[in-house]
Amino acid sequence: MAGFNLKKSSAKKNARRAARRKKQQQKHRGPVMRFKFSRLVLLWILSLILCFGAYLYKVNFHPEDLDRGIKTDSSASESSNYAPAIPPVPEGSAAPEDESSDPSASSGEPTDIPNGEADESSAAVPSGPQKVNPVPESAAQTADYLTRCAFIGETNIYNLGRSGLLQPYSVYASETLTLQNYVREYVILDGTTIRITSAIKAANCPIYLMFGTESLAEHPADQTADQFHTLLNDIRAAAPEATVYVLSIPPVTAAAEKTEKPILNSVIDDYNSRLLDICNQENVYFVDTNTALKSNDSRLDPHYAMEDGIHLTTEAGQILLNYVLTHVPA
């Protein structure tokens, strides 16, 4: 009888131990599951961060690949509401003659270039007869010539569009665009945010460039000219069929030469001289609009300058465009 009681007592102890082990296992299962779930949540958060980082990279370095209404191929351009990079030609008007014998260069039809095919080497070799620079005076073009051109540049070009002297679709500029940031800076064209090299891809209209005013307060003339040379090659690579005109930057007032960060007219003249050399080297046109805006003392008349003494008034902008219209090669 005593042995039976011992066995019974031992069985109870074993049952209690088994019950405790079972409870411990049940308690252990909760934290294990929670730990695995937390790892899953952590992986999900990391995935979101990586996706967001990839999106930011696309926005800043490859915006043309995003679905933002920007043309990436010929089929997309047919269905997009985005305005074409080539300004429309009014009915009954004729585009200016191009010195090229290639009929496609004056047909007015853009030729799509797949992204990445154009490079600096395609714009590095001058073609055709050597151009005469600075461009000599010619018979005046009618005002509608400007509607068939693309004007690319800094604040002075931007103001030509804002004042109504140029049509909005002809202006590829902003108040913050410079030689240093044009690769990553956006301009707004017909409500679309886009970079200038993407906007003018495959354009064959006349392209006018004016850059340097915003840079000369911070950088020397030779460095600024080198940066312009890089931009010029990028523009020609993006639009190899276009006729490119380089506009000399305008003078500044005497007051602008005496500010805390002055821009000296002597430095402007040095820079414009370097632009002329670049244009001769690359066989593109150079239009000396600086001369048209100089007063008798070789500076910008304060009447033609905004308060900063650097940027042009609407009246001065009209003088600049009148000079452009009377300096178009036949």
- Let me know if residue 70 belongs to a domain: no
- Let me know if residue 72 belongs to a domain: no
Domain range for 17 is 2-61
- Let me know if residue 74 belongs to a domain: no
The answer on 292 and 176 residing in a single domain is: yes
Cα distance between residue 68 and residue 81, in whole Å: 11
The answer on 133 and 252 residing in a single domain is: yes
Q: What is the largest CA-CA distance in the chain?
A: 133
- Let me know if residue 75 belongs to a domain: no
- Let me know if residue 255 belongs to a domain: yes
The answer on 39 and 179 residing in a single domain is: no
> Quick one: pLDDT at residue 58?
63
The answer on 284 and 210 residing in a single domain is: yes
The answer on 159 and 275 residing in a single domain is: yes
> Quick one: pLDDT at residue 310?
96
Cα distance between residue 151 and residue 20, in whole Å: 84
Omega of the bond leading into 134 within 30 degrees of 0 (cis): yes
Name the domain count of the chain: 2
- Let me know if residue 238 belongs to a domain: yes
User: At CA 177, angle to CA 174 and CA 183, rounded to 5?
Assistant: 125
The answer on 156 and 54 residing in a single domain is: no
- Residue 318 belongs to domain with CATH number: 3.40.50.1110
The answer on 176 and 30 residing in a single domain is: no
The answer on 162 and 280 residing in a single domain is: yes
> Quick one: pLDDT at residue 257?
94
One pLDDT digit (tens) per residue for the chain, 330 residues: 555 555 666 777 777 777 777 766 665 555 545 556 677 778 888 888 888 777 676 655 555 444 333 333 333 333 333 334 455 444 434 444 444 334 333 333 333 333 333 344 444 445 679 999 999 999 999 999 999 999 999 999 999 999 999 999 999 999 999 999 999 999 988 778 999 999 999 999 999 999 999 999 899 999 999 999 999 999 999 999 999 999 999 999 999 999 988 999 999 999 999 999 999 999 999 999 999 999 999 999 999 999 999 999 999 999 999 999 999 998
The answer on 122 and 26 residing in a single domain is: no
The answer on 127 and 31 residing in a single domain is: no
> Quick one: pLDDT at residue 99?
41
> Quick one: pLDDT at residue 46?
85
- Let me know if residue 71 belongs to a domain: no
The answer on 204 and 264 residing in a single domain is: yes
> Quick one: pLDDT at residue 44?
81
- Let me know if residue 124 belongs to a domain: yes
> Quick one: pLDDT at residue 40?
76
> Quick one: pLDDT at residue 123?
43
The answer on 138 and 57 residing in a single domain is: no
CA-based nearest residue to 321, from 158, 143, 121, 62: 143
The torsion angles phi and psi of 153, rounded to 5 degrees, stand at 175, -165
